[in-house]
Amino acid sequence: MPVIHPRKQTIDVRKFGAEIVITNAYLIYKDEELKQKAIDEGIHKLINFNGPVMTDSGSFQLSIYGDVDINNEEVIEFQELIKTDIGTSLDIPTAPYVTREKAENDLKITLERAKEAVKYKEENNINMLLNSVVQGSTFSDLRSCCAEELSKLNADLYPIGAVVPLMENYRYRDLVDVVTSSISHLPNDVPRHLMGAGHPMVFALAVAMGCDLFDSAAYILYAEDDRFLTIRGTYKLENLQEMPCSCEVCNKYTPDDLKAMEKKERAKLIAEHNLRVSFAELRVIRQAIIDGNLMELVEERCRVHPMLLDACRQLGKYADDLEVYDPRIKKSAFFYTGPESLNRAEVVRHLDKLRNMDKKRDLIILPSSRKPYSKYVSDNLGDFYIYGSEMKLDLKNTDFMVLDVPFCLIPLNIDEVYPLSQNESPKIKDADSLEFIEDFLSEFIEYYEQTLISSKVIEELNIGLYNIHSQSDEIKFIKKDEEKIKSIADYQFGNGVGNALFKGKLKIEKSKKTGKIRHVYSDGELIANMRASDAFFVLAKEGARRLHEKMEFPENRVIVNKDSEPFAREGKSVFSKFVIDCDTNIRANDEVLIVNENDELLAFGKSLLNYAEIMDFNVGQAIKTRKGF
Q: How far is CA 227 from the centre of its chain?
A: 31
Residue 127 lies in a domain: no
Closest CA to 411 of 422, 421, 420, 400: 400
Q: What is the dihedral of CA 300, 306, 308, 313, to 10 degrees?
A: 80
Average pLDDT over residues 346-373: 94
Instruction: Give the separation between CA 315 and CA 180, rounded to whole angstroms.
Output: 8
**Is the pLDDT at 467 greater than 60, yes or no?**
no
| Residue numbering of the annotated binding site | 91, 162, 245, 247, 250
Residue 586 lies in a domain: yes
The model's pLDDT over 289-325, given as tens digits with 9 standing for 90+, comes to 999 999 999 999 999 999 999 999 999 999 999 999 9
Q: Name the CA dihedral angle for 478, 484, 487, 488, rounded to a multiple of 10 degrees.
A: 140
* Residue list for the binding site for substrate: 91, 162
Claim to verify: residue 610 and residue 502 sit in the same structural domain: no
Say whether both 509 and 568 belong to one domain.
Answer: no
Quote the Cα angle for 562-605-552, to 5°.
70
Whose CA is closest to 377, among 351, 410, 405?
410
Range of the domain at 609: 552-628
Number of domains composing the chain: 3
User: For residue 440, what pLDDT band results from cuts at 50, 70 and 90?
Assistant: very high
Binding-site annotation: residue ranges for Zn(2+)? 245, 247, 250
Beta strand 601-607 pairing with 621-628: antiparallel
Alpha carbon distance 339, 431 (integer Å): 9
Distance of CA 2 to the CA centre of its chain: 24
411 Cβ partners below 8 Å, 6+ apart?
Answer: 354, 357, 399, 400, 401, 487
In whole numbers, what is the pLDDT of the chain averaged over residues?
93
Q: What does the DSSP 8-state code read for residue 627?
A: E
What are the pLDDT digits (tens) for 99-111? Answer: 999 999 999 999 9
Residues 435 and 533 in one domain: no
The residues assigned a catalytic role are 56
Each residue's pLDDT tens digit, 219-248 = 999 999 999 999 999 999 999 999 999 999
The average pLDDT across 114-120 equals 94
Q: Are residues 368 and 455 in the same domain?
A: yes
Nearest CA among 273, 274, 299 for reference residue 199? 274
pLDDT band of 64, cuts 50, 70, 90: low
> Does 607 lie in the same domain as 578?
yes
pLDDT score for 379: 66
CA dist 498 and 486 (Å) reads 4
Last residue of a domain, one of 511, 533, 551: 551
Query: At which of 531, 551, 571 does a domain end?
Result: 551
Q: What is the CATH number of the domain that holds 616?
A: 2.30.130.10
- pLDDT higher than threshold 80 for residue 470: no
Q: pLDDT-derived band of residue 386, with 50, 70 and 90 as boundaries?
A: confident
Q: Please report, in angstroms and rounded to a whole number, the separation of the first and last CA atoms in the chain.
A: 47
Q: Are 277 and 171 in contact (CB under 8 A)?
A: no
CA-closest candidate to residue 326, choices 606, 558, 609? 609
